[in-house]
């Protein structure tokens, strides 16, 4: 007779529980806004939840550090709901939160489409205003999609309304012709002269995402062409000889204040290439989710990076694919700036 008990299901959720000092008031508001930008929903005043995953764990860890640095207490744990709230009810909380974001976007897209002339797309100043409105709505939609962790039903209507507005505004697609020829890739730039960081093993956390992908690309291309990368569990890791840590706890290079690791690397290593600064702003906006720079490229690059993470579990492969993205992005900004 088989008496083995069934194994419990894997935890589906991550919880962040915090206690924040009552003063200063702005600190509590700052943490609340950060959690909103992550797409977390509140179960109680001081308990927030995200669907379990590598990115969610990383996001909550950075919030935890911010809370503790500000004099508060916080903990992150994996959770399964057994009594009280059910998984379906928690999922409903996420859908409700995101549908509240999608609804005004869909309504504004509907209104703007109805205001367009019936005989064809507008021209002149009216067209310019409509184009600006469409771009603004697309940006708002992309920001909500980025934190729509459980595919809220309102997304489809918002996307449909914006697509209809786009079609009305561009009723006659322009031109065709030969596809643009891709320019030859520029020779690698001369790396920065930082002898103490040459031919090192660069260590970071497993499950790399945008900041670590971009930082690995920056290190290999501009700092240490002989670099090798090592991906480890973050808790309690102690570096060996000739290892340099980045974007992990107690690392030589990691978040400082409101700067992501990529920005810290640029500043502390004195990398002055002007084409790297917009890339830093994009990485910051995607990684910290604070829309600090409002780069219009962030939403698209964010989805591309998320796709790389979804398609490849192996960290070396993620870095390889991410590096190709940042190579081409660097080339774009280099040519645009020059």
13-79: CATH number: 3.30.70.240
d(CA 313, CA 44): 34
d(CA 17, CA 13): 13
d(CA 62, CA 30): 13
Residue 5 backbone phi and psi in degrees, to 5: -80, 145
pLDDT at 5: 54
pLDDT at 125: 85
CB proximity list for 254: less than 8 A, separation 6 or greater: 245, 246, 247, 248, 261, 264
Question: CB atoms < 10 A from the CB of 207, how many?
Answer: 18
Among the listed residues 126, 12, 15, the one whose alpha carbon sits nearest the alpha carbon of residue 80: 12
pLDDT at 82: 85
CB 322 within 8 A of CB 219: no
CB proximity list for 1: less than 8 A, separation 6 or greater: none
* Residue ranges in the chain modelled with pLDDT below 70: 1-9, 119, 172-195, 235
pLDDT at 29: 92
Chain CA centroid to CA 16, Å = 19
d(CA 281, CA 261): 12
Q: Report pTM.
A: 0.65
Residue spans per domain, the chain: 13-79, 95-169, 195-337
pLDDT at 78: 94
CB 225 within 8 A of CB 202: no
The number of C-alpha atoms within 13 Å of 253 and in the hemisphere containing its C-beta is 24
pLDDT at 183: 39
């Amino acid at each position: 007779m088989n008496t083995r008990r069934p194994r419990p299901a894997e935890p589906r959720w991550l919880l962040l529980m915090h206690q924040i000092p009552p003063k200063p008031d702005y600190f509590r508001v700052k943490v609340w806004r950060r959690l909103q930008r992550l797409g977390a929903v509140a179960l109680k005043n001081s308990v927030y939840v995200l669907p379990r995953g590598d990115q969610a764990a990383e996001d909550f860890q950075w919030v935890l550090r911010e809370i503790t640095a500000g004099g508060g207490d916080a903990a992150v744990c994996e959770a399964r709901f057994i009594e009280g709230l059910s998984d379906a009810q928690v999922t409903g909380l996420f859908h409700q939160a995101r549908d509240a974001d999608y609804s005004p976007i869909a309504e504004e897209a509907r209104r703007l489409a109805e205001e367009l002339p019936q005989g064809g797309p507008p021209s002149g100043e009216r067209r310019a205003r409509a184009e600006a409105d469409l771009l603004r709505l697309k940006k708002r939609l992309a920001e909500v999609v980025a934190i729509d962790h459980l595919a809220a039903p309102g997304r489809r209507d918002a996307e449909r309304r914006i697509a209809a507005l786009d079609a009305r505004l561009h009723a006659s697609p322009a031109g065709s012709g030969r596809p643009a020829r891709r320019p030859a890739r520029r020779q690698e730039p001369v790396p920065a002269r930082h002898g103490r960081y040459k031919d090192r093993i660069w260590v970071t956390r497993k499950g790399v995402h945008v900041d670590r992908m971009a930082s690995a690309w920056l290190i290999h291309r501009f700092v240490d062409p002989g670099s090798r990368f090592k991906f480890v569990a973050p808790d309690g890791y102690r570096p060996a000889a000739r290892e340099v840590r980045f974007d992990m706890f107690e690392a030589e290079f990691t978040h400082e204040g409101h700067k992501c690791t990529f920005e810290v690397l640029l500043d502390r290593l004195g990398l002055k290439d002007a084409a790297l600064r917009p890339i830093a702003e994009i990485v910051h906006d995607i990684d910290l989710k604070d829309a600090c720079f409002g780069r219009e490229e962030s939403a698209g690059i964010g989805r591309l990076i998320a796709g790389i993470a979804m398609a490849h579990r192996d960290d070396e492969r993620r870095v390889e694919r991410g590096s190709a993205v940042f190579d081409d992005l660097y080339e774009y900004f280099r040519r645009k700036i020059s």
